[in-house]
């Protein structure tokens, strides 16, 4: 378990590809009959893009947290090794005394 603070659960600004937003605007400007056919498809594409964006954000956040946890574990391991070496030197010194 990590004691490091985490970032908020969702991105501050949701970004969708400009091309997708432009396509959405073009579909919305079409005649009603055509728009009725295409609008559900474009809305589904927008939702999928939002979902992928959220998944990518969570994955990046988890990777950053993992890197931090790994650095803390390495620091702890190095400290433990130094303590062990110091104790072995002390014990070795007592044996020779």
| CA–CA separation, 41 and 46 (whole Å) | 9
The DSSP 8-state label assigned to residue 29 in this structure reads: T
**pTM for the whole thing?**
0.62
Say how far apart CA 43 and CA 24 lie, in whole Å. 8
pLDDT digits (tens, 9 = 90+) for 33-70: 999 999 999 999 999 999 999 999 999 999 999 999 99
Q: How many domains does the chain have?
A: 1
pLDDT single digits (tens) 22-41:
999 999 999 999 999 999 99
Q: Measure Cα distances from 23 to 34, 38, 78 in Å.
A: 14, 10, 55
In a domain, 9, yes or no: no
| Among the listed residues 46, 62, 61, the one whose alpha carbon sits nearest the alpha carbon of residue 11 | 61
Question: Residue 46 belongs to what domain range?
Answer: 18-96
């Amino acid at each position: 378990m990590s004691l490091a603070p985490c970032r908020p659960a969702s991105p501050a600004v949701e970004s969708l590809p400009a091309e997708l937003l432009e396509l959405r605007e073009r579909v919305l400007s079409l005649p009603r009959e055509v728009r009725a056919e295409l609008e559900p498809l474009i809305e589904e594409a927008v939702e999928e893009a939002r979902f992928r964006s959220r998944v990518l954000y969570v994955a990046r956040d988890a990777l950053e947290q993992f890197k931090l946890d790994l650095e803390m574990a390495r620091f702890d391991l190095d400290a433990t090794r130094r303590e062990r070496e110091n104790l072995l030197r002390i014990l070795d010194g007592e044996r020779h005394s």
